[in-house]
Amino acid sequence: MSFVDSFVEKVKGKSLSVVYPEGQDARVLSAARRVADENIARPIVLGKPEQIEAAATEAAVSLDGLTIVNPAEDDRIEAYTQAYCEGRDIKEGIARRMVKRPLYFAGSMVATGDADTFVAGVANPTAMVIQAGVLTVGLAEGIKTPSSFFLMIVPKFMDEADKAFVFADCAVNIAPTAEQLADIAIASVASGQNLLSEAPKAAMLSFSTKGSASHEDVDNVTSALEIVRSRNADLNVDGEFQADTAIVAKVAAKKLKEPSLVGGEANVLIFPDLNSGNIAYKLTQYLAGAAAIGPFLQGFAKPISDLSRGASVDDIVATTAICLAQV
């Protein structure tokens, strides 16, 4: 069974629901059809009926059994408007216009418990998906920085087959501050807890290992580690580590002067910036033949996710299953 298949099997038959706010896209309709037919979840497709019907025709799929919702005419608009206004200095008319937008309507459904997750991004840029998520679903307690991660499945790592890693952040935050990097680390541990078969062990990565080099970039990583530990001392997070120290036990044994529960055994890798994270996941993907699944959004109060604009039907289905596995 593939890694993605394991999550499909995990969520099958649980009657969870997923909202697709981009119902005008044929790929979304094809994915929703599969999600329904394979009993992965109950799909809810948002959009104008004529656009959804046109997309279904293009995809050559039936709409039978799919829940179709036109946000502009739905009876829940007033309830979602009130929920959106809560705690905000915003006029109801403006809030009403916002929640009629499919992304915001989808987020409102998740926020109020009318759906378990939403998956979007084939027709909207990442920034818009994140903004809608922040303003409706909100961020997890204590988190101020939304971020992303990839699930990397390495076919052969040391003596282990199909080794799974969380790589973060590889798609959202360009040059995170120490506070933001701490948020990314905490959110990534939570993602690893939900999705990895082993307990998450997170390494704060750098070009330095425990003070072997001096630079402000290293200081940013060590400061982030201090913040993580001050916020939750029970998390298995350590650093700063060079990549080999983080994942290779023999290297960690040579380089580390003090015992570490993470060194040489990390399965959650926290990169210091988007440059290193993005480069690393793509090198791992192509040089090691690894599967790069994602990116997924993290740090939200409830699981939601972004898709690449070029996502395939398989990508949409896989993202749906992995999001629902975090419910």
Cα dihedral 156, 158, 159, 161 in deg (nearest 10): -20
- Rounded Cα gap, residues 23 and 276, in angstroms: 35
pLDDT score, position 156: 95
- Residue pair 262/246 in contact (Cβ under 8 Å)? The answer is yes
Phi, psi of 299 (to 5 degrees): 90, 5
Can you tell me the mean pLDDT for 194-221? 96
18-37 burial, b if ≥16 CB within 10 A, otherwise e? bbbbbbbbbbbbbbbbbbbe
Q: What integer pLDDT is reported at residue 87 of this predicted model? A: 86
What is the per-residue pLDDT for 2? 83
**Identity of the residue numbered 307:** L
| DSSP state at residue 17 | E
Q: What is the pLDDT of residues 60-93, one digit of tens each?
A: 999 998 999 999 999 999 999 999 999 899 999 9
Residues ≥6 apart with Cβ < 8 Å to 150: 166, 167, 168, 170, 171, 281, 292, 293, 294, 295, 296
| 213 vs 106: CA distance, rounded Å | 47
Beta bridge partners of 238: 203
DSSP reduced 3-state for 65: coil
For residue 139, what are the contacts with CB-CB under 8 A and spacing of at least 6?
145, 146, 299, 300, 301
- Name the superfamily (CATH) of residues 147-294: Isocitrate/Isopropylmalate dehydrogenase-like (3.40.50.10750)
Find tokens 């990116």 and name the residue: 295
**Other Cβ atoms closer than 10 A to 225:** 23
pLDDT of residue 100 exceeding 70? yes
8-state DSSP, 140? P
- Crossing angle between the packed helical segments 178-195 and 216-231, to the nearest 10 degrees: 60
How far apart are the C-alpha atoms of 13 and 41, rounded to whole Å?
A: 7
Q: Is the pLDDT of residue 199 over 60?
A: yes
Tell me the C-alpha distance between 262 and 56, whole Å. Answer: 49
Highest CATH level, class, for 3-138+301-324? alpha beta
What the block records as the tokens of 296 is 């997924």
Cα gap 248→238, rounded to integer Å? 14
Query: Which residue shows structure tokens 């009629």?
Result: 100
If you search the block for the tokens 């499945």, which residue do you land on?
Answer: 153
> Strands (DSSP E) along the chain, which ranges?
17-20, 42-46, 67-69, 117-120, 147-157, 160-168, 202-205, 237-241, 268-270, 291-298, 305-306
243-294 pLDDT, tens digit each: 999 999 999 999 999 999 999 999 999 999 999 999 999 999 999 999 999 8
- d(C-alpha 132, C-alpha 71), whole Å: 15
Q: For 141-161, what is each residue's pLDDT tens digit?
A: 999 999 999 999 999 999 899
**Which token pair is 188?**
């990534």
Quote the pLDDT of residue 1: 54
Residue 245 and residue 146 in contact, taking contact as beta carbons nearer than 8 Å: no
pLDDT at 294: 86
What ranges do the domains of the chain cover? 3-138+301-324, 147-294
Alpha-carbon distance of 200 to 209, in angstroms, equals 20
Task: Decide whether 3-138+301-324 matches 147-294 in CATH topology.
Answer: yes
Q: Give the model confidence (pLDDT) of 29-42 as tens digits.
A: 999 999 999 999 99
Number of H helices, E strands in the chain: 13, 11
The widest CA-to-CA distance across the chain, in whole angstroms, is: 66
